[in-house]
Chains A and B, each alone.
Chain A
């Protein structure tokens, strides 16, 4: 099996992997990075999203060969309790979830959006999160949280 190198949350990792294996498998399996969640395996729900560069993408159907030399960021790399990303702070402030299983993917979509567009409108936030499914109905809280984070980032 070839060795595939990529950046994961700022650190270089090298894994021997089947080039067709899904990134999500490798993240959750060997690398123990469990924030990207399995939801559908077909790129239809967003629970497994990771940032590739400044784009949020499904990792459940992303083959390992395509990851080589890429910058991958998961929720683990967004911030910590000690040094939270504004989005993490905002999701707590807005209590923006119920079960929270989709939240990792949604935070990744939101972070990617804010990288590309630091002051999105509400409609732009909704459009950016449209590929992420939430079944509990916490959408409006999440949208408020993303707007709150954007405004906090603009004034800091």
Chain B
């Protein structure tokens, strides 16, 4: 064994944005400004990051002011997605704050004439033997943080952290409870006017003629904007904007649209399209002694992000420069796409984050920002706020991609798995802005010189994959081939939805494992443990089983099922056990989960994310499916796209496996796959039928039971 350890490296976000002062500043009297590149989307990230900073600096968390990300000054951390914010922003801030503290201690040592090792910091006050003291703020004039971070800084050990690792209350919640405006929808800018965009819900229809006469007569109208197939109105109130839009709609002529697939044969559609095929992973077996092959197909429909707030943005032009307020998950990425469309240098565009409602992935946040920018051109320097309608949000925003997954499992005479082939047919799971030579924004495909509509692609395997996310089993199977077929057509617009392909793949893998365990007459928990060598994986499964008193005695009308995954095979470990009751309709009564995120910066925040993920996944599994006919999306209201309600929500019980010594990872997407599989497996336990086509609705259960009888 070599004694050499690798050269220390900066955390990835800090390497990309090394200037310490871009992350941390001592400001005003006793204040600390912390400036991450990641954004709050309801996941509590700004609180967790404040905890990390407060801990490394030894200041009370109340002194910390979290700066909203803006291209004007913030570090560029790409996009807030993939459960990576704690990993990327958290590690960068921990390092940057540890280095800042070290620099201040060196300056304090010089000023006080005391060895730095003898100095202590308490709430920003630096003191040493002989009652000497100073503070970060006294020293702020002497210590410059306009330096690039250096590698090898040692942050505090987990045992000496007093804020990270504790359930600190979220910093944003008081505003939201006391009605202090915090959302972009509520923000009052001087001279604000309101915009609305004219769109037809017929898929692919383009505006070809527009009679503006009636709209011009609407009182309160500021401007009508038309740029090729893009059209909209600006008015001095929301009501006037709505009235003008209604009048404009009557004067619109549209081209014929493009056909949508048959929503009742998604697998047939997905498996008949031109595709780009990628072999994700192969593992060859020494010998093959299969006596039987199980071939199963699993499908999931298109799923809507379904943010409670329709997407919203504000924009204001000042000459040739534009300022944009957005709830986008990536301010720099949005800016890059805006620069392409506007043919402006990025320096002339400022994109500033402001909170919206939870988005759960790439919804219309970025699209509406371009809408606002285009409409604001006609507003004479006044800021324009554009808010989409519910109908537009549910018709035009990207959806999570439908998936067809086929697994063939080769079994030997004892029903042990000797071979495994997993194939995915799906649109790409990502079409976010800022990553291609062409813009991904909706209006870019509508303007006079339109850009082609972007066909979704998949992140690389190194970035967790897309449709193939979590398709490589974590289990110790002797042989496998994993293949991803990405569609090259995209009649239904798709992009990133929480977990990308992981929910579908985990559902498929965990369902088939459950089926094979049942075939063997083996307990499904024992079966999984027998095929897992990763001790952290085994521990979450055992913990969930203990907590749910697995396996509860069989009772008529009640079923239990389990599911497990390590998100992206590199992130959080999560095991779920579902208890359901069902006859021909399923109600999930209780979900028991165990989670291992490494160090849990804010344990209650982790539990909140897991609870929320588990409940959202239950909603997906039992209720959700985007509906369409051959011309348009038809599930455009909450009546047509129902989600789980208060009286339908299961009890959720979460246990965190404490691992304070292990680098933290995110929790936001860990639960969806395991919960999906656990519910499906509980349905089998309860009713004796395997449901392989999501959502698991009453109709499908009845059909499956008829087929089985």
Contact = CB atoms under 8 A, between A and B. Distances in A.
A8 B357 CA distance: 26
B308 A92 contact: no
B309 A137 contact: no
Interface string A28-48: 110010110111111011010
A87 B604 CA distance: 20
Given A45-B638, A132-B646, A102 B173 contact: no
A67 interface: no
Contact of A99 (B174, B237, B358, B389): B358
Contact of B308 (A34, A101, A126): A101
Contact of A129 (B309, B310, B646): B646
Interface in B486-510: none
Given A38-B309, A39-B310, A137 B613 contact: yes
Contacts of B238: 25, 28-29
Contacts of B644: 139
Given A129-B646, A132-B646, A138-B608, A45 B308 contact: yes
Contacts of A41: 389-390
B390 A133 contact: no
A130 interface: yes
Contacts of A104: 176, 179
A49 interface: no
A97 interface: yes
Interface in A13-39: 18, 21-22, 25, 28-29, 32, 34-35, 37-39
Interface string B37-62: 00001111000000000000000000
Nearest to A39: B308
B78 interface: no
Interface residues of B, number: 57
A81 B178 CA distance: 6
B357 A99 contact: yes
B176 A100 contact: yes
B401 to A, nearest CB: 19
A88 B309 contact: no
A100 to B, nearest CB: 4
Contact of B616 (A88, A100, A103, A137): A137
A42 B612 contact: no
Interface in B168-197: 169-170, 172-174, 176-179, 181-183, 185-186, 188
Interface string B519-530: 000000000000
Contact of A101 (B169, B356, B609, B638): B356
Given A37-B309, A92-B177, A139 B237 contact: no
B179 A98 contact: no
B174 A135 contact: no
A21 B177 contact: no
Given A47-B308, A135-B357, A130 B174 contact: no
B413 interface: no
Interface string A111-152: 000000000000101110110111111111111000000000
A146 to B, nearest CB: 10
A75 B646 contact: no
Which of under 10, 10 to 19, 20 to 34, or 35 or more describes the interface residues of A?
A: 35 or more
A75 to B, nearest CB: 4
Given A37-B309, A137-B615, A103 B177 contact: yes
Given A34-B181, A91-B177, A95-B170, A39 B309 contact: yes
A142 to B, nearest CB: 8
A104 B181 CA distance: 11
A107 interface: yes
A74 B604 contact: no
Contacts of A130: 645-647
B179 A76 contact: yes
Given A99-B358, A126-B646, A136-B42, A88 B178 contact: yes
Contact of A38 (B170, B178, B387): B387
Contacts of B390: 39-42
A21 B616 CA distance: 35
B598 to A, nearest CB: 21
A20 B114 CA distance: 74
B61 to A, nearest CB: 15
A34 to B, nearest CB: 4
A45 to B, nearest CB: 6
B446 interface: no
A130 B643 CA distance: 11
Interface in B220-264: 237-239
A-B pairs with lowest CB-CB distance, top 7: A99-B42, A137-B615, A137-B612, A101-B357, A100-B176, A99-B358, A34-B186
Given A74-B179, A143-B646, 15 more contacts: A34-B181, A38-B309, A38-B310, A44-B637, A45-B308, A97-B173, A100-B172, A101-B183, A101-B308, A102-B308, A125-B646, A130-B645, A136-B358, A137-B612, A138-B611
14 contacts: A28-B238, A29-B238, A37-B309, A38-B185, A42-B390, A79-B178, A95-B173, A97-B42, A104-B176, A107-B177, A123-B647, A127-B646, A134-B308, A135-B360
